[in-house]
Amino acid sequence: MNFPNSTSLLMVRHGQSTWNAQKRWQGQADPPLSDFGRHQAKVGSDSIGAVELVVASPQLRALETASIIAENIGIGPVQTHHGLRERGVGEWSGMTAEEIDRDYPGWIDSGRRPPQWEPDDLFTDRVLDAIGYLATEFGGSTILVVAHGGVILAVEDHLKVREGRIPNLHGRVVNHHNNELTAGDRLALIPRDLATGGTGIRN
């Protein structure tokens, strides 16, 4: 639901990174977009409506995606917010699911996580703090927020509207009004077959 003078945030996952293509968990590592990811961002920019601002996670895969879109729609410069970074996945960063199953047998399926994994509550709090900052600083605007699948899922879990994984250049609209966050529709800036081509395990 949209409210008068509410801040609308179009939260979108970045394009495919080089580690997505290799099916490696990323977390707070900083691989760049693949050529395919840059193509996804260019195609996705055609589906962006009127926005006043583009904000991104400072991680390269999100910032590159945001910069491509911003250039194509004539909005800029892209701003960044540290709170929009992906969850820290600790010792699993850079590993494939097969390597994790080898070194941590059964952990993924059972929900166990390595010691340096960023806890759910801390992760969700920093993401919500970032959204609150943007809503306050740019109140009444429509903002494109380019971040990570884990970031968007954390918001969906908070709002109890999770609908499965977030493909590249897909996401969720959220609205902020009177310090209350509400869920809008899921977003798809590119067709699902283009979004999932070569996509890896983690965001």
Dump strand ranges (E) for the chain. 7-13, 53-56, 79-80, 142-147, 170-177, 180-188
Question: Given this model, what pLDDT does residue 201 score?
Answer: 42
Q: Say how far apart CA 124 and CA 87 lie, in whole Å.
A: 9
What does the angle CA 35 – CA 64 – CA 62 come to, to the nearest 5 degrees?
110
Partners of 127 in beta bridges: none
Among 86, 118, 170, 176, the active-site one is 86
- Provide the token pair at 182: 């509400």
The token pair at 138 is 């740019």
Overall average pLDDT of the 113-135 stretch? 97
Q: If you average pLDDT over residues 9-35, what whole number do you get?
A: 97
Q: What is the Cα–Cα distance from 134 to 138, expressed in whole angstroms?
A: 6
Which residues 6+ apart lie within 8 Å of 173 measured at CB?
8, 9, 10, 11, 183, 184, 185, 186, 187
Examine the residue annotation and report whether 39 is marked as an active-site residue of this protein.
Answer: no
Question: Which residues lie across from 8 on neighbouring strands?
Answer: 142, 175
Q: What is the pLDDT of residue 14?
A: 98
- Confidence grade of residue 196 (pLDDT, cut at 50, 70, 90): confident
* Size (the chain), residues: 203
Gap between the Cα atoms of 203 and 90, Å rounded = 14
In the chain, where the domains are located: 7-90+117-195
CATH topology of domain 7-90+117-195: Rossmann fold (3.40.50)
- Contact between 94 and 202 under an 8 Å Cβ cutoff? The reply is no
163 is annotated as an active-site residue? no
Task: State the pLDDT at residue 179.
Answer: 87
- Asked whether the predicted pLDDT for residue 203 surpasses 90, the reply is no
**Which alpha helices (DSSP H) does 104-202 contain, by range?**
107-110, 120-137, 149-159, 192-195
- Mean of the per-residue pLDDT values for the chain? 94
pLDDT, tens only, 133-188 = 999 999 999 999 999 999 999 999 999 999 999 999 999 999 999 889 999 999 99
| 8-state DSSP, 84 | G
| pLDDT of 1 over the 50 cut | no
Rounded to a whole number of angstroms, the distance between the first and last alpha carbons of the chain is 28
- What span, in angstroms and rounded, lies between the C-alpha atoms of 38 and 21? 13
Of 200 and 130, the one with more pLDDT: 130
pLDDT value of residue 4: 52
